[in-house]
Amino acid sequence: MTAFHYADSGSSVRKGRGATFDPHNRFAPTHSVEEDDGWWREEASTTIATEVREEVSKSALAWNTSPDLPFDRSLNPYRGCEHGCVYCYARPSHAYWDLSPGLDFETKLIARSGLVERLSEELCHPNYVCRPINLSGNTDCYQPLEAQHQTTRRLLELLLECRHPVTIVTKSSLILRDLELLSEMAEHRLVRVFISLTSLDANLKRTLEPRTASPQARLKVIRELNTAGIPVGTLVSPIIPGLTDHEIERILEAASRAGARTAKVMSLIRQCRGGKDYDARFGKRFRGEGVFAEMIGQRFNRACRQWKLQSRTEQGLNTRDFRPPRAQGDLFY
The structural domains of the chain, with segments of one domain joined by +, span 53-306
pLDDT at 118: 98
DSSP letter at 194 equals: E
**53-306: which CATH architecture?**
Alpha-Beta Horseshoe (3.80)
Closest CA to 234 of 186, 178, 193: 193
Q: Which residues of the chain have pLDDT under 70?
A: 1-15, 20-21, 24, 28-46, 266-292, 311-315, 327-333
pLDDT at 259: 96
Does residue 56 sit in helix, strand or coil?
strand
DSSP letter at 87 equals: T
The mean of the pLDDT values for the chain is 84
CA dihedral 293, 207, 259, 296 (to 10 degrees): 10
Phi, then psi, of 67 in degrees rounded to 5: -75, -10
With contact defined as beta carbons under 8 Å apart, do 162 and 189 qualify?
Answer: no
Instruction: Say if residue 70 is exposed, middle or buried (CB neighbours under 10 Å; 0-12, 13-18, 19+).
Output: middle
Give the span between the Cα atoms of 138 and 200, in whole angstroms.
24
pLDDT at 281: 61
- Strand locations in 226-266, DSSP E? 232-236, 263-265
Give the span between the Cα atoms of 246 and 50, in whole angstroms.
34
Give the span between the Cα atoms of 161 and 155, in whole angstroms.
10
With contact defined as beta carbons under 8 Å apart, do 163 and 181 qualify?
Answer: no
Q: How far is CA 284 from CA 19, 179, 239, 245, 257, in A?
A: 26, 36, 16, 20, 32
The model's pTM: 0.79
